[in-house]
Amino acid sequence: MNRLENKKIVVTGASSGFGEAIALACAQEGADVALVARRADKLEALANRIRSMGRTAIVCPCDVGEQAQIEATVAAARTGLGRIDVLVNNAGMNVSHRRIDATTTEEWDQIINVNLTSAWLFTKIVMPEMVERRDGTIVNIGSKAANYPSLLAGVAYSASKLGMHALTRVTNEEGNPHMVRACTINPGVGATPILDLRPKPPSAEDRAKMMQAEDVAMTVVFAASLPQRANVERIDLYPTDVSVG
pLDDT digits over 153-163, tens only? 999 999 999 99
Domain that holds residue 33: 8-239
Q: How far apart are CA 5 and CA 85, in angstroms?
A: 11
> Which carries the bigger pLDDT value, residue 33 or residue 200?
33
pLDDT value of position 5:
97
Residue type at position 200: K
Active site residues: 157
The pLDDT-based confidence of 202 (bands split at 50, 70, 90) is confident
From first CA to last CA, the distance across the chain in angstroms is 35
Q: Is the pLDDT of residue 227 over 90?
A: yes
Q: Is the pLDDT of residue 204 over 90?
A: no
Q: Is the pLDDT of residue 193 over 90?
A: no
Number of domains in the chain: 1
Q: What's the CATH number where 128 sits?
A: 3.40.50.720
The pLDDT-based confidence of 201 (bands split at 50, 70, 90) is confident
On average, the pLDDT of the chain sits at 95
pLDDT value of position 211:
87
pLDDT value of position 206:
87
Q: Is the pLDDT of residue 99 over 80?
A: yes
pLDDT tens-digit series, residues 164-179: 999 999 999 999 999 9
Question: Span 44-51, mean pLDDT?
Answer: 98
In a domain, 158, yes or no: yes
> Which carries the bigger pLDDT value, residue 95 or residue 198?
95
Q: How far apart are CA 102 and CA 195, in angstroms?
A: 19
In a domain, 245, yes or no: no
Task: Check: pTM over 0.85? Answer yes or no.
Answer: yes
pLDDT value of position 197:
74
The pLDDT-based confidence of 199 (bands split at 50, 70, 90) is confident
CB atoms within 10 A of CB 204: 8
In a domain, 108, yes or no: yes
Chain centre distance of CA 188: 14
pLDDT tens-digit series, residues 105-137: 999 999 999 999 999 999 999 999 999 999 999
Residue 245 · residue 192 · CB < 8 Å: no
pLDDT tens-digit series, residues 49-79: 999 999 999 999 999 999 999 999 999 999 9
In a domain, 1, yes or no: no
